[in-house]
Amino acid sequence: MTERLEDIAQAMVAPGKGILAADESTGTIKKRFDSIGIENTEENRRNYREMLFRSTDAMRNYISAVILYDETIRQKAKDGTPLVDLIKTAGSIPGIKVDKGAKALAGPTSKIEKVTEGLDGLRERLAEYYELGARFAKWRAVITIADGCPTWNCVKANAHALARYAALCQEANIVPIVEPEVLMDGEHSTHDIDRCYEVTEWTLRAVFEELYDARVRLEGMVLKPNMVIAGQKCPKQASPQEVAERTVQCLKATVPAAVPGIAFLSGGQTDEQATEHLSLMNAMGNLPWKLTFSYGRALQAAALKAWGGKSENVAAAQRAFAHRAKMNGLASLGRWEPSLEKAAA
Ligand code: 13P
């Protein structure tokens, strides 16, 4: 495969495909496993991810790239094949989450706001991940909307860290996924769609300014933003069409056309909402960048439930994963319809 950053970024957002976010930290995957009542052991984590990466139909046809966690990029399948090789054999690109998590931002809003850590030693870690097969990386910043938040201090600190991370990635010949996530869930999530628009616009402007200052080549990156959507606890939810329109409007106002692709996070949307919103945006047409998915929960929830930690359920779980991946693949082309969900049920 080509090693040019531009080509890798393009391949990550290839038409009809999107990115599987399977980079849950050990703490986050515990929450997912708790929901199906299975123990969070290294073997179970391996078995679960091996099940996903061996889903030939989903992986070959709809998944351009997979984001891994440090443990997973070093892990082997039951038969000894490195998990990274399963991904490459399926024609997909392995990548790695390199941030060390969002930590309380010191200052008056430290109970609410977070800043992502992980820049120390990142140059060396990127060199090792490259050797292990990673051709792209991910760094997630979180912005919380609450009374008086976000503060400019929080937006600025996170945007700056994202740019420093992205520049280090490109130096290591690794495509950075730049992920500034304005949260839609959590205890403060009562904001409406207008407030989400305002904060997302502010955040993206700050991020692209920092990327410019750091001389990050926009052609060799992928943006992973939230959609413009009301908070989960807001009594007034916007219609799917409004979410699609406001999101595209906000991105057009802030994301340069040199960026090859935008791959959304699902952020707490249901599986079908995440698919519908993406499809409606692509159906609008006339977009300067590719718009696709980089979902964690909204791609895996059905497969996780069908699997339930049992080897006899692997085939059913792979079918569930393939269905969700196909629906999102169609959404990336603007061709998803609600009736396609019923056809599979
Ligand atoms: P969700 O799609 O579950 O929000 O996860 C995507 C992701 O990678 C968040 O960093």
> Which of 176, 130, 156 lies closest to 294 in space, CA to CA?
176
Tell whether pTM > 0.85: yes
Residue 78 CB neighbour total at 10 angstroms: 10
219 is catalytic: no
- Ligand 1, from 182, 265, 278, 292: best to mutate by most atoms within 8 Å of Cβ? 265
- Residue ID of nearest Cα to ligand 1 atom 5: 296
C-alpha of residue 181 to centroid of ligand 1, in Å:
9
- Amino acid found at 92: S
Residue 88: the pLDDT is 98
Superfamily of domain 5-344: Aldolase class I (3.20.20.70)
Token duo for residue 214: 């750091």
156 is catalytic: no
Residue 3: the pLDDT is 85
180 pocket-lining for ligand 1 (C-beta < 6 Å):
no
Residue 299 has pLDDT above 80, yes or no: yes
> What pLDDT digit, counting tens, does each position of 328-338 carry?
999 999 999 99
Distance CA 339, CA 325 (A): 16
> What pLDDT digit, counting tens, does each position of 28-41 carry?
999 999 999 999 99
> What pLDDT digit, counting tens, does each position of 249-258 carry?
999 999 999 9
> What pLDDT digit, counting tens, does each position of 138-183 carry?
999 999 999 999 999 999 999 999 999 999 999 999 999 999 999 9
- Amino acid found at 217: R
C-alpha of residue 339 to centroid of ligand 1, in Å:
26
> What pLDDT digit, counting tens, does each position of 214-242 carry?
999 999 999 999 999 999 999 999 999 99
Minimum-distance ligand 1 atom for the alpha carbon of 298: 2
Domain locations in the chain as residue ranges: 5-344
Say which of 114, 224, 290, 326 is annotated catalytic. Answer: 224
Residue 343 has pLDDT above 70, yes or no: no
